Amino acid sequence: MSGDRPTLPPVRLNSEAELARDALSAPLIARAVRLARWAGPDTRVGAGGELVEEQLPAAAAELGLADDQDGPAYASEAWRVAVDTGLVDVQDAPEASGDEDEDGTGTASMGENLGVLTAGSPSDVLAIWLDAFDVVFADATAPMIDDFADLVGEDGEIDFERLEWDPEEEADFLEGVLGNLYLLTVSEGGAPEGPVPLPALAASMIVPDDMGEPTDDILEQVSDAMMRLDDQFRLLEPIGLVEYEPVDEALMAEVGDEPAPPVDDEDVARYGMVRLTPLGLYGVRARMLEAGVDAPAVGDLADKGADALLDGIAYFPELSARAETEQWLARRQPADAASELLAAARGDDAGGPLRRLHCQQALALTGASAEPAVREVLPDPELGGLARVWLAERGAADVPPPSETMIFWLAIDTIAAQLAVEGDLEELQELVEGLVGQHSGFFDAAWRVEHPATADVLEAMGRLHPDKSTAKEARKAAFKARSRV
């Protein structure tokens, strides 16, 4: 497989306007905005910008959560997001002056980004949402502390080693989980698939690829990972990243605090189901790009040249390649697009056959106004064959017949392209059988074709053709082609 291939399938993202609307409607963002508007002269914050404990009930009431026992926790979380994303500005407490009435707290007011979030462009909104995602991600990877007093050593200092918590390891684990969820969520067509069972997602991080039946130890690790992910996805859902159906609490009561992975599919939903939302796909992809991961999206190539398009879609799934090409064509006049595509399709490098294949598929999406550009390349030894195919498919008149040299060159080029994409084996075999059947003495002519892939193609035909004698002819022809070179 070529090292130039993208490591992930291309994703179809919603428009920035749609994603921005999703970001603004995410519950955690909506709460952060309400608290930012609520902040005023009487708001008191601690040294880290957090609301002082006495103000949490009022903040919860502002969010309509006064009667919810978790209201103060939700308010604290929303406030932290508001502060860390600039929706709220925190003013530190003034230096002590000896006045006993001073309480050592700071104040807060509406931040500049509140106006950006409510009146800015979609890209501005998404930038703030990504900052909020970072805040929640950090919370999701923070250690769970049941009793803070247990962490205080004899000297009164906090002993973080007792946590047995590695922040980098925790972050890497959740990054890996979200990366796997991204891959499992994106179909071959670049659109979101259905929800992913939590056991499958946990297993994707724990179970080795080459393991057959998981051991008891591996199953226990998967169970631990499931519970870890259950907590983390509960935190990530309010930011709009995922749609999450948590692990059934009744199930945990049945089998203890750590349920074993399901043995069948009947009640798999009880073990948790998760999917990335369209906004989540955007967010995870943004983190991947920041980390240097190749995570293409349909539409990335629309404003680039034809060379970038043909190289970029080389290994895209068919539906994604077509969608990308349609967006590229939509920004150009058909005649100009055809000229660009044909010019970019030339070349005797290893990627040439695949570029010409995708050029031909792109030209199939153009109309009659592309015909002059196509006719211009009829004499071209590399492009004349595909030009004739395009014209013939449209019933065009006055199409000169191809020379025998051009026919066999096109045959070699076509098979080389199909081999490059590692397409359906049966279709490739049918193509090989059809070409050999249409032309008597195919191999006598084929080994003489001046194409850089001639020998490789003939060798492949020898492997693919079901008839032993024909396969032997192909291998002999391949030997001749290599000897000629």
Q: What is the pLDDT of residues 419-469, one digit of tens each?
A: 988 777 888 888 888 888 887 789 999 999 999 999 999 999 999 998 899
Q: What is the pLDDT of residues 43-90, one digit of tens each?
A: 999 988 999 999 999 999 999 999 999 999 999 999 999 999 999 999
With vertex at residue 281, the alpha carbon angle to CA 424 and CA 20, rounded to the nearest 5 degrees, is 135
pLDDT at 164 over 70: no
Residue 63 makes CB contacts below 8 A (sequence gap 6+) with 31, 34, 35, 71, 74, 75, 78
pLDDT at 98 over 60: no
CA 125 remoteness from chain centre: 21
What six digits make up the tokens of 446? 């084929």
Average pLDDT for residues 356-378, to the nearest whole number? 95
At 424 the pLDDT is 75
Residue 96 makes CB contacts below 8 A (sequence gap 6+) with 102, 104
Q: What is the pLDDT of residues 223-252, one digit of tens each?
A: 888 989 999 999 999 999 999 999 887 766
Average pLDDT for residues 340-354, to the nearest whole number? 95
At 400 the pLDDT is 94
Kindly report the backbone phi and psi dihedral angles of residue 137, in degrees, each rounded to the nearest multiple of 5, phi listed first. -60, -45
At 54 the pLDDT is 93
258 confidence band (pLDDT: 50, 70, 90): low
Q: What is the pLDDT of residues 182-194, one digit of tens each?
A: 988 886 555 566 7
At 430 the pLDDT is 87
CA distance 372 to 363: 12
Residue 296 makes CB contacts below 8 A (sequence gap 6+) with 6, 8, 9, 10, 11, 312, 316
At 158 the pLDDT is 56
pLDDT at 313 over 90: yes
